[in-house]
Amino acid sequence: FSCRFSRPLMVYPPPPAKGGISVTNEDLHCLNDGEFLNDVILDFYLKYLVLEKLRKEDAQRIHVFSSFFYKRLNQRERRNLPDTTNLPIQKRKHNRVKTWTRHVDLFQKDFIFVPINESAHWYLAVICFPGLEGPVLEPNPLYQGPLPPSTDPADPSSEENIPDHCRPLSPDGDGLDGSSGQSSPGLHRISVCYGSGNRDDAYTFSDDQSSCQDECSEDGALAEDSAPSDSATASRLNLCKQPCILIMDSLRGPARSTVVKTLREYLEVEWEVRKSTQRSFGKDVMKGSSPRVPQQDNFSDCGVYVLQYVESFFENPIPSFHLPMNLSDWFPQQRMKTKREEIRELILKIQAQQELDKEAEPEPPEAPPSSSEEPEIEETPGGSTGGALHLPVSP
């Protein structure tokens, strides 16, 4: 029974594609109600959406790390290595993952997704506009209000005026892009990932939002976001893009300021390594913020919510990155009741299709007599090697 339970149901993407993810019955069990989603399910679903649900131009605007990225970045060293003992801790951390971005320039991306798992709880960090040095304002095409004298009287709702980062990041977009494409049956478009960190050293949020809501406190704690953004969008003359790190957590509690600090330090070293110059990503440049997001009503759906946060990020994009922001009505809670079953049905559908494909394959020729030489094995890179997935976002 145990062998049957751990035997792969299917590999996605199937050979000869590299980096295929094996999904077993044991992984499928994680989709039962009350079970925690594991990294295999999250990885599979993410890869499926990246490969089959995202346009290439969208995929080039985003980078998604696997769960192993943050876990490796923040991993405690077992012993001091002779060649690294004199390095600052930020550079020692960066060294652990320095090869993960050798084929990608993070500062050319609009959004970087870092799924994190700590104490058996999934949540999401989104690094927004890391290449910008400060806030950038753009005309709001949905603005409803008096135009200042200097404003161009041209129709502000013209589709051509909509900033790229406000468009749905999906192949058959709906909402602001005005397209009439039909949603694909079954699963909606999504993007996902996961990671690991340390819960014990997080700060709690302050409930006092009377001043300086957009700023992090001197000790690095995050500002709690309570101002509604959806209702205020039409009243904003300009939309804002600014460097920031958003923490989306379905069990709202600690401020995760240590996570934000770790990611800021990583960006500083990554910039120095890639650009051969120094740049600060401190709290004055890269703000930390925790939007209000839909909350889970049990203790097991955190991974499912991480998936939905990213899905909503693409399908119902944040129009402006003024801080703070309120996304508590981003998607209906009822949506979460069916997501596990949707993913299960997708896995079983792919499995059935792969079985049919195998049956349709011609019989392989007889193998030649075995030789004493070792067969060549082609190594396929896995998610833990740093081959991060590219996903969509700003011009």
Domain definitions of the chain by residue range: 2-354+383-391
Residue 81: pLDDT over 70: no
What percentage of the chain reaches a pLDDT higher than 90?
Answer: 44
Residue 186 pLDDT grade (very low, low, confident, very high; cuts 50, 70, 90): very low
Q: What is the pLDDT of residue 369?
A: 52
**Residue 85: what pLDDT?**
66
Q: Does pTM surpass 0.85? A: no
Supply the residues annotated as catalytic: 121, 249, 302
The residues facing 287 across adjacent strands are 244
Rounded distance between C-alpha atoms, residue 349 and residue 355, angstroms? 10
Q: Which residue has better confidence, 49 or 186?
A: 49
Other CB atoms within 10 Å distance of the CB of residue 40 = 17
Question: Which CATH code of 3.40.50.150, 3.40.395.10, 3.30.300.160, 3.20.20.140 fits the domain covering 2-354+383-391?
Answer: 3.40.395.10
User: What is the Cα–Cα distance from 100 to 247, expressed in whole angstroms?
Assistant: 22
- The model's confidence at residue 385, banded by pLDDT at 50, 70 and 90, is very low
Using pLDDT thresholds of 50, 70 and 90, give the confidence band for residue 254.
Answer: confident
**With 60 as the cut, is the pLDDT of residue 71 above it?**
yes
Instruction: Choose between 315 and 175: higher pLDDT.
Output: 315
Which pLDDT score, from 0 to 100, does residue 211 have?
29
- Mean pLDDT of the chain, nearest integer: 75
Task: Give the pLDDT of residue 30.
Answer: 95
Q: What are phi and psi of 137, to 5 degrees?
A: -100, 140
Strand, helix or coil at 30? coil
Give dist(CA 126, CA 246) in Å, integer.
Answer: 5
